[in-house]
Amino acid sequence: MNLTFKMKIIGVCIFWSGLFVVCGAIVFFSQQRQNLILKELEHSKQVVQTFNRLLTITINLETGIRGYLLSSEDSYLEPFNQNEAKFDQEARAAQELLADDAEQNKRLTSISEFKKSWITGPVVEEMMARKKLTRNMISADDFNAIFRKSKGKEYTDKIRSEVETALSHETNRMVKLGDEQIEASNRVRLSILFGFPISIILGFSLIVFTVSKVNLAIQKLVISLYKTSIAMAESSRTLTSCGVELGKASEQTATSTQETASAIEQIKTTTASNVSTAQNSLETVEKCLARSEEGQVAGEAVRSAMGEIDLCGQQMVNKVAENNQRLTSITKMMSEIQTKTKIINEIVFQTKLLSFNASVEAARAGEHGKGFSVVAEEIGTLANLSGTAAKEIDLLLSNSTNEVKNIIKDATESMAYVTKDIQLRITGGAEKSGVCHEKLNEIGKQVSSVQEAMNGIVNASEEQASGIETMSKAIMYIEQATQSQNSLFDKYSDTANHLEEFSESIDQQVLELRLFFGVRSGPTTTSSGDISNSLIADPSFAKHGSAA
């Protein structure tokens, strides 16, 4: 399947852009997933803190009621009353946090019901028994019996169990989210480490391969034109030489005709034969004149083809400039990714700070906060790992950006040099084409002069009937001149045929060049004289031509 140069370049660019879009999509969706995970981690952290506060409040409630039962002093009930209100507030806050989590919300409801049953049941019974003991309404043994039968410890254990189950659920969820975050981060890292460099290398290789293939095809076509133009130049020089000899023979024939003017009666037969030969020669000269005009048309076609080649060169330059602009856009995208990496660093710092605060709160909680302290330390460790990965991503992006900028700079400089060199060659070819066109005009003028001379020969042969003097000598001269003219006319005809064949060969080569570049309009013929002259003057091309 033959594709034009433009379609090949467009195909390479589409393929290259597709690779970058895939890599960018992977990075984009992975980054979105990381942001979502961070939000979910923050939500889980708030849930854990809320359940810990509920557990702490429960412990304070239990401590307050036990203090009252042991001392019967109302001052011990103040922490109990305060924490009871706080318990309800924290429960409502937890319900808002767990609105989309039915399982945790169910546990929270159970905790609230256990607390309510505990307060309205065992706590009230124990407090009433303590008051009766203080008023000596019951004995200490009766009080101890009531205290032992109380189910307060059972309710508080249920509350602790539900809280610990909820905390375990949230901890497992946070671990799972942490694993997902690491996986998303790994996808981003792999896309940047391997996806973008492979896309750049593969795209650059495809461009180099396409340009090399086009360059090789152009070189083959130009070398072929070069050889054909050399052959045409030699035929043209032979044609010019034959024209000079034809002129000399015509002058000799004219002189002999004047000398035999007085012997016209005796040489009528010879004169008739001479007139016929001169007419045939005149037809041959007319054919040469027609070939000369075709050569002028071919010269105009060469100049048109050189213009088409110049236009194709400009299109190639514009396409390379467009690719450089796309590379510049890629550099901007990498800069934006670096900006997002800085945001990740800020999030990591905030995560470390929150981890430290959580560790402090866990230390304050004492024995009950040990498990949460370990979780806080793990969160801090994950934050450190995320920060390190973000720094590595930032460094890789910086290096990739610099590399892309260097590629743009090198490609721009190389294309500027190649474009300037091609432009100089095209300009030189156009100038040589003009010179060839002028030479063909001169050949046409010379052939026209020969045609006029042949007309004079015919007229002179018709006027030979007026004399017969110096018949033998004049007839010998006329016969020799006629033979010389026949030989020259044969060479003239052969040279003209070769010139036509070479012109057709050049037309075919130019047609192939035109089809390769996808040119669908304009002339296809060309003249090889100017191309051969410009190529011979170029030492670098002469070297390629000899090697071929």
Question: Using CA atoms, how far apart are residues 187 and 182, in angstroms rounded to an integer?
Answer: 9
pLDDT-based confidence at residue 2 (cuts at 50, 70, 90): low
pLDDT-based confidence at residue 526 (cuts at 50, 70, 90): very low
Question: Using CA atoms, how far apart are residues 452 and 448, in angstroms rounded to an integer?
Answer: 6
DSSP alpha helix (H) spans, 463-538: 471-517, 528-536
pLDDT at 158: 87
Region 400-404: what's the mean pLDDT? 77
Residues near 43 by beta carbon (within 8 Å), at least 6 away in sequence: 97
pLDDT at 514: 59
Over residues 356-382, the pLDDT tens digits come to 787 777 777 777 766 767 777 777 787
pLDDT-based confidence at residue 490 (cuts at 50, 70, 90): low
Region 19-30: what's the mean pLDDT? 76
pLDDT at 248: 63
pLDDT-based confidence at residue 542 (cuts at 50, 70, 90): very low
Task: For residue 326, give both structure tokens.
Answer: 């796309």
Question: Using CA atoms, how far apart are residues 395 and 328, in angstroms rounded to an integer?
Answer: 19
pLDDT at 280: 76
Q: Write down the mean pLDDT value for the chain.
A: 73
DSSP 72: -
pLDDT at 532: 40
pLDDT at 540: 44
CA 359 to each of CA 42, 49, 170, 349: distance values in angstroms, whole numbers, following the listed order: 15, 11, 17, 15
pLDDT at 24: 76
Question: Using CA atoms, how far apart are residues 246 and 238, in angstroms rounded to an integer?
Answer: 12
Residues near 506 by beta carbon (within 8 Å), at least 6 away in sequence: 225, 228, 229, 232, 298, 525, 526, 527, 528
Question: Using CA atoms, how far apart are residues 435 and 529, in angstroms rounded to an integer?
Answer: 9
Instruction: Sort 196 into a burial class: Cβ within 10 Å, 0-12 / 13-18 / 19+.
Output: buried
pLDDT at 524: 44
